[in-house]
Chain A
Amino acid sequence: MNVAARMRTNPAFRFVDQYKKLFIAFLLIIFLFLLGEVTVSNFLSFAQLLLTVKLASFIALFGLCQMIVMAGGGGGLDMSVGYTATMTAVLTASMMDGRNENLWIAMLVALVIGLAVGVANGLLTAYVKLPPLVVTMSMSLILQGGINVYTAGANITGKPSPILQIMAAKSIGIFPNILFILLILTPVVMILLYRTKWGLALFGTGTNETAAYLSGVNVKRVRCISFVISGILSSFIGLLLIGNMGIAFKDMGSNYVMPSIAAVVVGGVSMNGGDGNYIGVILGAIFLQTLTNLLVAMGWGDAGKWLGFGIVLFILLIVYVNDIRSR
């Protein structure tokens, strides 16, 4: 057995190898905090970290949707997540009207919206074989159009139910509640992906579509379901989003789309599909939020944020190029 082969079977080496992208993401975050501490004072503190995590939580939540569709391979991406969330938030705001007893109706509406968007995306990508990015971008346009129609003339009224506000905006002590949602969600996602029939089939499909098909798995359906789940999830994230902000407005979700994709790439999820470690996505989200904080502190604002995100994504795509080469 040669050295390389022995290295590969060494458990410690394998651990590092398997999670090397997580380490990279982690190191990047530390680097940013140190950079912030040097260039802007009072950047590195526990309170600042908690605040960053709180702000990053929605990127991480939308990142979950991206991770799931990406795991199925075939260039899976969902650009419509932010718009689905906005649609749900805008529609349910007046229904909830700040009362808890109306929450269940809002949840029903969220389910219907998410299901409709997800099924449409899934059918068009998996069965009609259109590029997911183009389909979901068009879907975003349709949703944004729908929101425009709904909000035209009339102002959006209504407030989220208090339960949602407690979940998404309040804190227990210094710990924001949304952090607990992420903490609960992480194992749930891991079980969904690693312990269910569908999750394993999704990873297999993403890794090797032909082999999955020859093993008798209905790859089209598996991929379609990933989009449906993404749709439903993003719709429910919309409820949390209105809980967080207290009101609904026209483009409350759309600004999360790009960061959610970037977070997944930073978190080391292969764009080719076949894997997905949600902890990585959360780290990616924290990294992007820290980057935003830093750029804002430096006074670079919106422009710096988008430019920074674009460059980070571009560089990481080049770094991970061996994982994503198309041919």
Chain B
Amino acid sequence: MKVLEATGIKKCFGGVVALSDGNFSCQEGRITGLLGANGSGKSTISKIIAGVYSADAGEIRYKDRLVRYRNPNEARKDGIAMVYQNLSLVPDLTVWQNIVLGAEEKKRLFLDNKAAKNLSKEIIDQLLPGLDIGKMVYELNPGEMQIVEIAKAISAEPKLLILDEPTSALEKAQVKSLFRFVRSLAERGVAINFTSHRLWEVMEICDDIIIFRNGENVGSLDFERDGRDPERIVSYITGDVQKVKVSRERRKNGGKSVLEVKGLNYGKFLRDVSLDLKKGEILGIGGLAGQGQHELLLALAGNYPSVDCVATIDGEKVRLNRPANSIRHSVLLVPGDRELEGLFLKQSVYTNVIFPKLGLKHQPLFTPRAKYRKECERAVDVLSIKTSSLDMPVRTLSGGNQQKVVVGKWFSFSTNVLLLADPAKGVDIGAKRDLYGYIVNQVREKGISVILYASDTEELAEYCDRVLIMYEGQIVASLEGDDINEDTIIATSMRVR
């Protein structure tokens, strides 16, 4: 029996269409998988169903009535529970306190801790036997936290359980016991919606899957009827991508090495990452969203003081624990989140563009304003930043122009390596062309090297000489030459080939 059916769901985020025509249904006792590349809309639709976002258009029928939740709490009270990727746990409470948080039972005046502990123990024993429910959550490892998060969702006895990437933090054994439990839930009649970037897991646990591409669902498979064929799934995910012949000739690997890193580790985000960037090369970093690409670029820029890694930049040893170190060796970062990491929104274009100079050693106390303004004007000119004056606050600029300002910050620096973290995110087509045109030009004329992470595979396929695929904090593949096309990048990212 159909538990929930969503039809024609539409959702925009500030002009960017995340979901144009999303359709989804799930049935009692069945596990339905959601698949799709980055930004295909699969997690947007889960969040709309769970009440995190509200849809711009379309309707959701739950148990044969029309519903429209304003927040996750309403959905949860109605029996729809979602397990979030970013954990909703409170670190300073115990496991059992977290499991019942927000739904505590009372016995007369006081909280009924005994019932809460029993309930938690019962659930935890099925999911992860041996976990002490009296432990503080901040003492747990990421996998255990994920299990507690799932236990919290289950404790409300939902009719529909949405699992968004529940296995990314888990070990093999934990995944096995989770799957056994999810299966037993399904047998008890719970409808389950399962999203994972591990294609093999989806094929193992799901009864059927729905595939999303560019904000709409492009196909669904019933595994019993259609069989489990990974190649077919990937073809749905990538669509009929024409293997675009890129006009530019890709450079062969073999120039002088500019930036070399061996065995870079950062918490659970980066594990033993090694790479070797050649002069004049555009090195792409690909993979599914959130596999450590951002962290890799930030680590190379020296953002993490705890990273204990020595890089070789132009033959010189450099410790990557302070941004100033990287900057001094002309390894410059264009961060991904421009509002949080790149810009001073309140300040003028001028202040933003000249800001990195303030951190340099041996700068005059008084800023040489005439000189700086001239440089700033040139940056605005070359990057074609559209602003009425240099004194406009950056906040008033459009997204594309803001991004150009972030790139412009390094305009007057002699660049050796440019680290670009998803530079075209939320940027209109014109600005995107300007940006990449500028960067390619810099590579060709000044011989700089670039490490480019882009969530859009098309950009990687178009501009890169070599693409490294990251998966769960590791570099798992290196693509060169004709292998650099969207189809191969996506398939490799999903670890099909």
Verify B358–A195 contact, CB threshold 8 A.
Answer: no
Return chain B residues, CB-CB under 8 Å to A195: 366-367, 369
Contact of A208 (CB < 8 Å), options: B345, B357, B359: B345
Return chain B residues, CB-CB under 8 Å to A9: 388, 392, 396
- Segment of A46-54, A89-97, A213-221, A230-238 engaged in the interface with chain B: A213-221
- Segment of A124-132, A152-160, A197-205, A253-261 engaged in the interface with chain B: A197-205
Verify B327–A196 contact, CB threshold 8 A.
Answer: no
A223-235, CB under 8 A of B: which get 1 and which 0?
0000000000000
Verify B340–A208 contact, CB threshold 8 A.
Answer: yes
In the complex where A8-B396, A9-B396, A207-B347 touch, is A214 in contact with B303 (Cβ < 8 A)?
Answer: yes
Asked whether A274 is an interface residue with its Cβ less than 8 Å from the other chain, the reply is yes
Return chain B residues, CB-CB under 8 Å to A211: 335, 340-344, 355
Asked whether B263 is an interface residue with its Cβ less than 8 Å from the other chain, the reply is no
Which residues 116-152 of A have a CB within 8 angstroms of B? none
CB-CB nearest in chain B for A11: B388
Verify B365–A215 contact, CB threshold 8 A.
Answer: no
B213 CB to closest chain A CB (Å) equals: 32
Verify B344–A207 contact, CB threshold 8 A.
Answer: yes
Give Cα distance in the complex from A14 to B388, angstroms.
12
Which secondary structure characterizes the binding site on chain A?
helix
Return chain B residues, CB-CB under 8 Å to A218: 324, 359
In the complex where A8-B396, A213-B323 touch, is A203 in contact with B359 (Cβ < 8 A)?
Answer: no
Return chain A residues, CB-CB under 8 Å to B301: 214
CB-CB nearest in chain A for B335: A214
B79-104, CB under 8 A of A: which get 1 and which 0?
00000000000000000000000000
A264-286, CB under 8 A of B: which get 1 and which 0?
00000000001100000000000
Asked whether A163 is an interface residue with its Cβ less than 8 Å from the other chain, the reply is no
Return chain A residues, CB-CB under 8 Å to B335: 211, 214
Return chain A residues, CB-CB under 8 Å to B247: none
In the complex where A215-B323, A216-B356, A216-B360 touch, is A208 in contact with B366 (Cβ < 8 A)?
Answer: no
In the complex where A8-B396, A214-B301, A217-B355 touch, is A203 in contact with B344 (Cβ < 8 A)?
Answer: yes
Asked whether A212 is an interface residue with its Cβ less than 8 Å from the other chain, the reply is yes
Return chain B residues, CB-CB under 8 Å to A215: 323, 327, 355-356, 358-359, 409
Asked whether B363 is an interface residue with its Cβ less than 8 Å from the other chain, the reply is yes
Asked whether B346 is an interface residue with its Cβ less than 8 Å from the other chain, the reply is yes
Return chain A residues, CB-CB under 8 Å to B341: 210-211, 214
Return chain B residues, CB-CB under 8 Å to A200: 351, 354-355, 358, 367
Verify A201–B344 contact, CB threshold 8 A.
Answer: no
Contact of A274 (CB < 8 Å), options: B328, B344, B356, B357: B344
Asked whether B14 is an interface residue with its Cβ less than 8 Å from the other chain, the reply is no
Contact of A275 (CB < 8 Å), options: B323, B342, B346, B396: B346
A124 CB to closest chain B CB (Å) equals: 20
Name 16 extra pairs, CB < 8 A, besides A191-B366, A214-B323: A8-B396, A195-B367, A195-B369, A196-B366, A196-B367, A197-B357, A197-B358, A200-B351, A201-B359, A203-B351, A204-B347, A208-B343, A213-B323, A215-B358, A215-B409, A274-B347
B interface list, Cβ under 8 A from A? 301, 303, 323-324, 327-328, 333, 335, 340-347, 351, 354-360, 363-367, 369, 388, 392, 396, 409
The 16 listed contacts between A and B (C-beta, < 8 Å) are A195-B366, A195-B367, A197-B358, A197-B364, A204-B347, A207-B344, A207-B345, A214-B333, A215-B327, A215-B355, A215-B356, A215-B359, A216-B323, A216-B324, A217-B355, A218-B324
